Each structure stands twice: as structure tokens, then as C-alpha cells.
Amino acid sequence: MHEIQQLHLFLKPNLLVKKSLINLVSSFRSNKFKSYLNNWKVFRKAQISQFEKYKIIHIMIFCRFLSLFFRLFNTSFDFFVNQFYEISSNSNSQ
């Protein structure tokens, strides 16, 4: 749960980056390569530093491994995503 909060706090300032990251992860995990490339182009054009982009890439890879882990143990990746959105909506309302 703590890692999800950190992920949200890191992405909170830039909604374009947040949206492109979620799209990247979803296209990456569903193996839709063309969609992944389109989302990658949007992500590359985001007005953030190279260091921030590298941090987001590491988060994306971490999310990919989480997805594989959930598949391995027959658990839903959507549960993780729902937890992320729940924390997101709770912190926005505060």
C-alpha cells in the first residue's frame, strides 16, 4: 500500500504523465504493441525532465512485473489499479 501512495504522489503534479503511464502499463500488459508505441510517443513528448522520465519507466517496469506476479498467483491486476484510484480519489478530496 505504501508503494502505491508514493506512486500517486510522484504522478500527482502532471496529469498527462499519469494518464500516459496508465495507458502505457495497460497496453504493455495486454501486449498491444501498436497501442504501446502510440502511448510511448505521447509519454516522450511530455514536458518533464529526462530524470523524471527514467523514474516513470522504472515504475512502468515494476507495474509490468506486478502484472506478471498477479497472473502467476491468479489474482487480478485490476485490484492493484483500483487501490491506486481509491488512494488517488481520497487524496484529491482532502
8 Cβ contact list (under 8 Å, min separation 6):
84, 87, 88, 91
Confidence grade of residue 54 (pLDDT, cut at 50, 70, 90) = confident
- pLDDT score of 34: 64
Domain count, the chain: 1
CA pair distance 46, 16, nearest whole angstrom: 7
- Give the residue numbers spanning the domain of 51: 2-79
Answer whether residue 93 is part of any domain. no
Please state, rounded to an integer, the average pLDDT across all residues of the chain.
64
- pLDDT score of 1: 44
The C-alpha cell that represents 67 in the structure block = 502484472
Answer whether residue 60 is part of any domain. yes
Return the higher-pLDDT residue of 14 and 55. 55
